[in-house]
Structure 1
């Protein structure tokens, strides 16, 4: 049975369940090769969490390793890494709207326009171009010598892309002609990246953690996108996970994981003396900051086998809520 037939059979007799406009989608990775990725939805106003949303709405498993999710208008695009596809849902109902296939190992999605989107890839040595309206792949941007492309930030017509595994490069891509025009060298294994209020890039390089490079230093770096120069560099603890660089609503304060959860103004000349959230001995796995009110969402993978937790805090670190999700909550996508 194909996806559409499976979904039609499941939906018979079902009524639509509307999802709040004030909510957060949580992509739960699941375990590699287990096909148990799931999607949760958290209603910020009521505190209600709907788990296993994709399956309960569509009767279809999400797939193998849920990586990320991005929203364009009323559609949400969910990258399923090891399944090599992107599922598309209606963000008001959670219903299946289509899928994008022919991908190797999709990671993150960036919308250049309403008719063009890019998706990075862990293994393809190329960035795939697809049409968000037709769900068709329309081309690719070769990235020879850079097998692993990750997060994307656009400034003007230039897209900046981190190259992660065993790499130290940010690629520059012309979004008008879909070509690589240059590169910026940064620290070891640049992964997450944000743009601040001054159009400066901030990149978190995880060093050797989780990749194939040995002996690299974990660093937080400020990069001038016009000159390609590293303006600031802060050494992080390379013995712990350094990941998930995010930024607040005003785009003047960074937030990231380095075992604990840290906040730092973009004007800072040194790392903060204390974290905003101390790690009690668990696994802080992923981080999201609400683009509306700067609330902090931190996931706890616990042991990578049981269902995870998410802690919601105010921007000042005051606890608001704790919710239970699926296995390995790995990505937050905020409805706006």
Structure 2
């Protein structure tokens, strides 16, 4: 009888512990993927894995250049008391000062955490938030505003201004339908309005917001379904259009930030891009419903001449192993190129690191849909 009671007690204890999920500590998964390196102003980078919508699978990884160690799901380990961990669909990640800001789209908030420790600081609620940028102590977050659904009557989106000291929303301005990425130039905020929920009646504009008055001053007509924005050293703004996936091809346009007019159409399909020095690195995953296939390409554009200087970022043939390129970043110090692979969007993805010459240096497993990279700089003494 005593032995039977003991078994019952042990069983009860196991059932009780399995129900206490709030006390579970999640262990990260760390592996050395590269030789240790010191002497750089870049300490490492955070990587935000988007995770499939509705599955609460957004995670954050970290790579440390000094040790060469890549750590998966660092956020969960550092924040065991955060309910549901990071949330649903990580859409953007940037660092400003000592804080990192992860935009969690479907969960409707921005996760703010400490760059040095990865520990949670605050959640800022913004509905259907998309992308983030910073200027003079303020964060700017684009929002679709309404619920996640295709709707010909979808609401006009807005940009929320957040004070990076108090982490409170201070102002907001309406900009257009389903706003996406933003850049800042000459004290003006440029916002790509996609109109993606109103398909086939996409928005075609880039909104221009005066940051002093925080008011809309102009809309620049560019092309349908605009998405990505980058600005070069001369103030030229690069705008990607995703097209309509049927007849209108994706393309890249250039806006003159002095006149706020489109000055060039480059006839380059671009899904994601990043600028380092005078080089714009890009890739394209151009899907067509008519064929059901993706056309994948890579390239480097000279931002001075607006000419393609290379149609190959990867020179060793390993691009054949990348099923769906989904993120790109260039180390500001070493010019190493980082490209992520979402695979089929369902399984675990990969992170590739290439030399400036396009030769693979290392590869590692990321999370589900690895996407957004933010470099961590050393603190100045």
Work out whether the TM-score is over 0.5. yes
Query: Which structure 2 segments of 5+ residues have no match?
Result: 1-19, 26-40, 147-156, 197-201, 285-295
SS in structure 2 of the partner of residue 55 of structure 1: helix
Contact 1:25 1:40 in 2 (8 A): yes
* Range that drifts further, 62-71 or 221-230: 221-230
The yes-or-no answer on 1:309 pairing with 2:339 is no
Which structure carries more helix by proportion?
2
After TM superposition, the structure 1 stretch with the greater mean CA deviation from structure 2, 26-35 or 46-55, is 46-55
Matches within 5 A, 1:174-193: 174-193=210-229
Give me the whole-angstrom Cα distance separating, in 1, the residues matched to 2:59 and 2:342: 14
Partner of 2:191: 161
- CA displacement 1:93-134 (0-9 Å, x = unmatched): 101111111x111111122222x2210013451111222222
Aligned partners of 1:170 and 1:274: how far apart in 2? 28
**Contact map agreement 2:42 2:333 (CA 8 A) in 1:** no
Post-superposition Cα deviations, 1:7-36, rounded to whole Å, max 9, x if no partner, equal x9678xxxxxxxx96111110001100011
Matched, 1:255 2:255: no
Residue 109 of structure 1 pairs with residue 157 of structure 2? no
Map 1:50-61 to 2 at 5 A: 50-59=71-80, 60=82, 61=85
- The answer (yes or no) to whether the contact 1:89–1:96 under 8 Å persists in 2 is yes
Structure 1 segment 232-311 matched on structure 2, within 5 A: 232-236=264-268, 242-248=270-276, 250=277, 252-258=278-284, 259-268=296-305, 270-272=307-309, 274-277=311-314, 279-280=319-320, 282-311=323-352
TM-score, scaled to structure 1:
0.86
What count of residue pairs does the alignment treat as equivalent?
A: 309
What is the match of residue 31 of structure 2?
none
CA contact (8 A) 1:217 1:235 kept: no
1:275-303 deviations in Å (ceiling 9; x for gaps):
22264161111111223333211100111
Superposed CA deviations along residues 121-148 of structure 1, whole A, max 9, x for unmatched, are 13451111222222222221122xx221
Q: 1:226 and 2:250 equivalent?
A: no
Deviating 4+ runs (over 4 angstroms): 8-11
| Counterpart for residue 16 of structure 1 | none
- What is the deviation of 1:84? 0.1
Tell me which of 101, 105, 114 is aligned to 1:77. 101
Contact 2:220 2:262 in 1 (8 A): no
3-state SS of 2:282 partner:
strand
Residue 243 of structure 1 contacts residue 286 of structure 1 at CA under 8 Å; is this kept in 2?
no
Deviations along 1:10-68, whole A, 9 cap, x unmatched?
78xxxxxxxx9611111000110001110011113332111111111101310000111
Q: Structure 1 residues 315 and 232 mapped into 2: Cα distance closer, same or farther (>3 Å)?
A: farther
